[in-house]
Amino acid sequence: MPVTPVETFLQQAIGLDSASIGVEALQHLQNARLHSTGLDASDYAGFLHKSPEEQAQLIESVVVTETWFFRNHLSFDFIAEWLQQPSRRSQNLRLLSLPCATGEEAYSLVMTLLNQGFSPAQLSLDAVDISVQALRVAQQGSYRSSAFRGEPGRQAQQNFFHLVEQRTALNTEVLYQVKPAVQACIHWQQGNILDAHLFPHSALFDVIFCRNLLIYLTKKASAQAINNLMRWLKPTGLLCVGHAERSLVSQAGFVQVTRPGIFVCQHPHAAGNEAAVRTASKVPKLAVRSPLRPSPNLTAFQPNPAATAAVMPSEVEASLSAMQHLEQAQKLADQGALHVALQHCQAFLQQQPEIAEGHFLCALIYQARHDEPQAERYFQQTLYLQPNHEEALRHLMMLLQRQGRTAQATSLQQRLQRLRSLARQSP
């Protein structure tokens, strides 16, 4: 299949790996831009090459800005614990959120540290994104209630926001406006992670959040981005990445902090300090499998009424940690107690909604219960969070084939084949 002008430009400009979003999405994106500009495909390439405005519009069309406050809140908690160490507690801290999207992550980090007793004067956070539209939302600092999920978000809503009314010709909407003390800690900037000169003369960062960006990049662009992150991070600093990105940064030398539910790494030059970082928190570590993977035979299981009746509680025990819920979900599903397994799986997602494996296990359980609409929903959510999740791609492809949705199934099959081809080419 010939490479489109859109695919070529996005790969060169922001390092986008077309396989990470799929051929169908790219084609839809190009069709939308052709419709918007009134050009046909033969004229669009030249127009795109000459028009910075169209280049900006194309980038805005492809960037993902879906986020919420305290997404994977365990990482924020761990960073706060780590920065409480005496050697860092009295320091002025330099922090980076890249990509910062619409600002929820940057604000969450600042609010976490303010809650831990750090003063605004101690905190300086650079929040960087390639999207001008996302940065406008972030700088304004006004959010709907849907941006606050889980208990940490609700607490922050009470402590660091005040209600404002936004009136339009049609209605009046109540929004939550972040307080000035939080906004004052953050410097917003448009930038590209592939730009080695993004921070040319600045001090290095104590903590960098770079989550769910590397998975969308080509192998070359990912290596370039990781190299920049390594240059910008203090040798004693921490890098927070997405669940699916740990292997990418590990291959570059970053050392993973071994705590369930967090995806934090140390700078390669600080590998000798790993034990100190692991013991920064007094919370005991859980003995869980890593990586957590549902049983591949789950879809062949049938509900076991006897097992369900034997272990069915009136409601799932609220005192369990997220990882314990996931472990219970997997164990009960293996026993055929699908209804209770699903309760535990959903309890896990209440605490950790950004973990792809939780959505994948939910999808498998729904599939085993012959609830294909729900299974499809959770397979799609898995792929949203982890676009290269081969098992989710394969299961969803087979589900669509059974339903006779041939075109969509073929698109997923091609995407799966590209992933496997790329894996074979990797050294």
Task: Say whether both 92 and 220 belong to one domain.
Answer: yes
Residue given tokens 């994948």 in the structure block: 360
What's the CA gap between 92 and 55, in Å, rounded?
Answer: 38
E-only strand ranges, 170-325? 172-178, 186-190, 205-209, 233-240, 255-256, 264-266
**CA-based end-to-end distance of the chain:** 25
Q: Would the pLDDT of 251 be above 50? A: yes
Q: Name the residue range of residue 366's domain.
A: 298-425
Task: Say whether both 117 and 245 belong to one domain.
Answer: yes
Task: Say whether both 337 and 238 belong to one domain.
Answer: no
Task: Say whether both 117 and 143 belong to one domain.
Answer: yes
Task: Say whether both 129 and 230 belong to one domain.
Answer: yes
Task: Say whether both 379 and 250 belong to one domain.
Answer: no
Among 156-160, 268-272, 410-414, the range scoring the smallest mean pLDDT is 268-272
pLDDT digits 0-9 by tens, 32-89: 888 888 988 888 888 998 999 999 998 888 886 678 899 888 889 899 989 988 777 6
Q: Say which residues have a Cβ less than 8 Å from residue 90's Cβ, sequence separation at least 6.
A: none
pLDDT digits 0-9 by tens, 74-88: 889 899 989 988 777
Residue 284 domain-assigned (yes or no): no
Task: Say whether both 44 and 102 belong to one domain.
Answer: no
What total number of domains does the chain contain? Answer: 3
Task: Say whether both 81 and 33 belong to one domain.
Answer: no
The CB density around residue 44, as the number of other CB atoms within 10 Å, is 19
Q: Where are the alpha helices (DSSP H) in 240-298?
A: 246-251, 274-278
Task: Say whether both 236 and 113 belong to one domain.
Answer: yes
Grade residue 157 by pLDDT with cuts at 50, 70 and 90: very high
pLDDT digits 0-9 by tens, 205-247: 999 999 989 988 999 999 999 999 999 999 989 999 987 788 8
Residue 285 domain-assigned (yes or no): no
Contact 333, 364 (CB under 8 A): yes
* Tokens coding 368: 């085993």
Last residue of a domain, one of 246, 278, 310: 278
Residue type, 421: S
Grade residue 264 by pLDDT with cuts at 50, 70 and 90: very high
pTM of this structure: 0.65
Strand, helix or coil for residue 378:
helix
Task: Say whether both 38 and 79 belong to one domain.
Answer: no
| CATH number for 115 | 3.40.50.150
Mean pLDDT of all residues belonging to the chain: 81
Q: Are strands 161-167 and 123-129 parallel, antiparallel or unpaired?
A: unpaired
For residue 306, what pLDDT is reported?
A: 37
Residue 356 domain-assigned (yes or no): yes
For residue 2, what pLDDT is reported?
A: 64
Residue 292 domain-assigned (yes or no): no
Residue 67 domain-assigned (yes or no): no
Q: Where are the alpha helices (DSSP H) in 281-337?
A: 305-311, 322-334
| CATH number for 330 | 1.25.40.10
pLDDT digits 0-9 by tens, 317-346: 555 778 888 888 888 887 778 888 899 899
Last residue of a domain, one of 62, 82, 106: 62
Residue 238 domain-assigned (yes or no): yes
Last residue of a domain, one of 62, 84, 102: 62
User: What is the chain's alpha carbon radius of gyration, rounded to the nearest angstrom?
Assistant: 23
Residue 113 domain-assigned (yes or no): yes
Task: Say whether both 266 and 123 belong to one domain.
Answer: yes
Residue 287 domain-assigned (yes or no): no
For residue 317, what pLDDT is reported?
A: 52
What pairs with residue 266 in β-bridges?
Answer: 238, 255
Task: Say whether both 306 and 415 belong to one domain.
Answer: yes
Preceding amide of 296 cis, omega within 30:
no
Indicate the burial class of 162 (C-beta count within 10 angstroms; 0-12, 13-18, 19 or more).
Answer: exposed
Q: Say which residues have a Cβ less than 8 Å from residue 248's Cβ, sequence separation at least 6.
A: 214, 215, 222, 226, 241
